[in-house]
Amino acid sequence: MVFHNYRMTRKGGDRVEVIVKYNGDIIQAVERIGAQAELLSHQYAIVSIEESRLPELYGFTEIEDIELSKRLYIKLNYQLTSSCITSVQEKNSFHLLGKGTIAAIIDSGIDYTHVDFRNEDGSTRIIALWDQTIEGNPPDGFLEGTEYTREQLNEALDSPRPFTVVPSRDNLGHGTAVAGIAAGNGQASAGENRGAAPLCELLIVKVGQKGNDTFAQSTEIMRAVKYVTDKARMLGRPVAINLSFGMNNGAHDGQSLFEEYLTAMSSEWKSAMIIPTGNEGAAGHHYEGRITSDNPAEIAFFTASGIETFYLTLWKDFADSFAVELILPNGTSAGVVTLEDRRKQIRLGNLLITILYEQPTRYSVRQEIFINVQAQSGTIAPGAWLLRILPTRIVNGTFTVWLPTLEEVTAKTYFSRPTVNNTITLPATARKVIRVAGYNDRIGSIAPFSGVGRVNDPDGLPDIAAPAVNILAPRTGGGYDAFTGTSFAAPFVTGSALLMMEWAIVNGNAPFFYGERLRAYLRWGANRSVGLRYPNPTFGYGRLCLDNTLQLMQQYAI
């Protein structure tokens, strides 16, 4: 079994993290080789282990499958009226404000001192804040980070120097904005710039690597989802979980362990999981093609200046056999690499190129060919590259290739002839989650950056679209700023889900209204334009309209 270091989550020293699907007593089993297991559910766990001992995990009967952790990147006047949320909040209508519900924001943290996340008496609306980047006192059942309670947050707010009491900060401002759109009460603007569910309470998890707030590992997000779900269950309240992250490193088919775990957790407790479709719609980072026995493929792409690493992840039918060859901008070939090579490393100048032929998994018949280019010193020279696919034995012939996301390699890295469809980023590709596309509510058109679904595949489409351009939201340090991206479309739906669960569960109208049922009503109540066919790969089932949805719930959900 071959392991490739550039895809592993490092936890300091030579320890790495992997996701496992298990049976039996996994904690006791891995302790025999000096590893630690954190249980996420009765099937999934995260194992921290010395890298040199990682192959030993494959000998345990308790372990059914293993997946290396991967990086996910944060996707950098509220449009409540265009989403039909304002009318639902009004006293002469449904008068829903999120009371009795929980907004769980898993993101870059939160500015807990911002008055939009405080009650009228100045106390916090945050039930708990788990900062995974600060070592100290982790929540029960977890091994890392520090959990700050409501009492500790209030102590900090009463202090003239709050960050000396609770040192957790949102350095990016991303999580603060997302939380404000979903749940801000607008106190900094006398209520004018409030979010969708201003009376809900919040659970906050700050994820990310120590010293680097721009990305998080899939294992960190899995821990966070378990944490907020368990907290909501303990408190007996419905919860909407917002995950504004995305990556291209995967098959985009919902069949990785990470995606399967999120699919499973979306059915836990009284919850809804909301994930944006990502900002890859116009990035040029996806390519689809077909190869025949007598027709090799040549795929041209460009890389930006200043990047130190990038990858190509190619997915194909395992029944097909073909070789790959990477041509550098200076015309040098990295050589032809075949299935028989399995894993090959090539050094050319300052570059280390690793090409790996993966195996199908228990969930998928597809095979990944993973190509990683890493500058050993300095950066990768920009320019035009060529990926050649050379047929050996072709049965099906179709394949897909992805470059990293905009957040990793910028807009100046792209395929010369990209495929626009199937650009929804992971983990929105998990099943049973609510996928949110982004549109410009001023002109009614889809945002060009919004991730696009798979054509002729209802399971691969967005569920609904929400405003994503120039969204006014709380900023770190106080006040408000404008934000753009599908990250900021998702919390409109998160807040809407809270109001739906307030009406249904908290108010006792439909006590089992969550999960797929909630998702179905969001689709049903969406606004749809005359002349467009729905569902479609850009808008999904239409534009969010909460008032329509509540009217339908009132008529049919009781």
How much is the pLDDT for 369? 94
Nearest to 130 by CA among 182, 222, 189, 205: 205
* pLDDT for residue 88: 96
How far lies 223's CA from each of 90, 217, 480, in Å? 37, 10, 30
Based on the number of CB atoms within 10 Å of its own CB, is 218 exposed (0-12), middle (13-18) or buried (19 or more)?
Answer: buried
What is the pLDDT, as a whole number, of residue 555?
96
pLDDT tens digit string along 79-110? 788 899 999 999 999 999 999 999 999 999 99
Predicted confidence at residue 13, as pLDDT, reads: 56
Of 63, 270, 221, 27, the C-alpha closest to 141 is 27
More confident residue, 459 or 445: 445
* Domain covering 286-415, topology: Jelly Rolls (2.60.120)
Q: At CB < 8 A and 24+ separation, what contacts does 2-5 make?
A: 2/342, 2/343, 2/356, 3/51, 3/54, 3/55, 3/68, 4/343, 4/354, 4/356, 4/370, 4/372, 5/51
**Are the CB atoms for 459 and 431 separated by under 8 Å?**
yes
Given a cut of 90, whether residue 348 has pLDDT beyond it is yes
Cβ atoms of 461 and 423 within 8 Å: the answer is no
For residue 105, what are the β-bridge partners?
Answer: 204, 242
Q: Are 507 and 238 in contact (CB under 8 A)?
A: no
> pLDDT tens digit string along 101-147?
999 999 999 999 999 999 999 999 999 999 999 999 999 999 999 99
Which of 175, 295, 274 is closest to 522 using CA atoms? 274
Lowest mean pLDDT among 74-78, 183-187, 244-248, 338-342: 74-78
Residues counted in the chain = 558
The whole-model pTM stands at 0.91
Q: What is the pLDDT of residue 78?
A: 44
- The model's pLDDT over 150-175, given as tens digits with 9 standing for 90+, comes to 999 999 999 999 999 999 999 999 99
Q: What is the topology classification, in CATH, of domain 77-281+427-556?
A: Rossmann fold (3.40.50)
Contacts of 469 (CB under 8 A, 6+ apart): 438, 439, 440, 441, 442, 447, 484
Q: Where in the chain is the domain with CATH 3.40.50.200?
A: 77-281+427-556
Q: What's the whole-number average pLDDT of the chain?
A: 92
Buried b (16+ CB within 10 A) or exposed e, 330-358: eeeebeebeeeeeebebeeeebbbbbbbb
Q: What is the pLDDT of residues 472-519, one digit of tens each?
A: 999 999 999 999 999 999 999 999 999 999 999 999 999 999 999 999
Q: Is the pLDDT of residue 11 over 90?
A: no
CB 314 within 8 A of CB 324: yes
Q: Are 26 and 20 in contact (CB under 8 A)?
A: yes
Q: 486 with 479: CB under 8 angstroms?
A: no
Location of each CATH 2.60.120.1290 domain in the chain: 286-415
Q: Does domain 5-69 have CATH number 3.40.640.10?
A: no
State the pLDDT at residue 16: 86
Q: What is the distance between the alpha carbons of residues 218 and 67, in angstroms, rounded to a whole number?
A: 10
Mean pLDDT in residue range 203-210: 84
In angstroms, rounded to a whole number, what is the distance separating the alpha carbons of residues 280 and 64?
33
Q: Which of 182, 231, 187, 186 lies closest to 205 in space, CA to CA?
A: 231
Instruction: State the Cα–Cα distance between residues 154 and 162, nearest whole angstrom.
Output: 9
Reduce the secondary structure of 243-291 to three states and give it as a string. Answer: ECEEECCCCCCCCCHHHHHHHHHCCCCCEEEEEECCCCCCCCCEEEEEC
Residues of the chain with CATH 3.30.70.2980: 5-69
Q: Cβ distance 73 to 247 under 8 Å?
A: yes
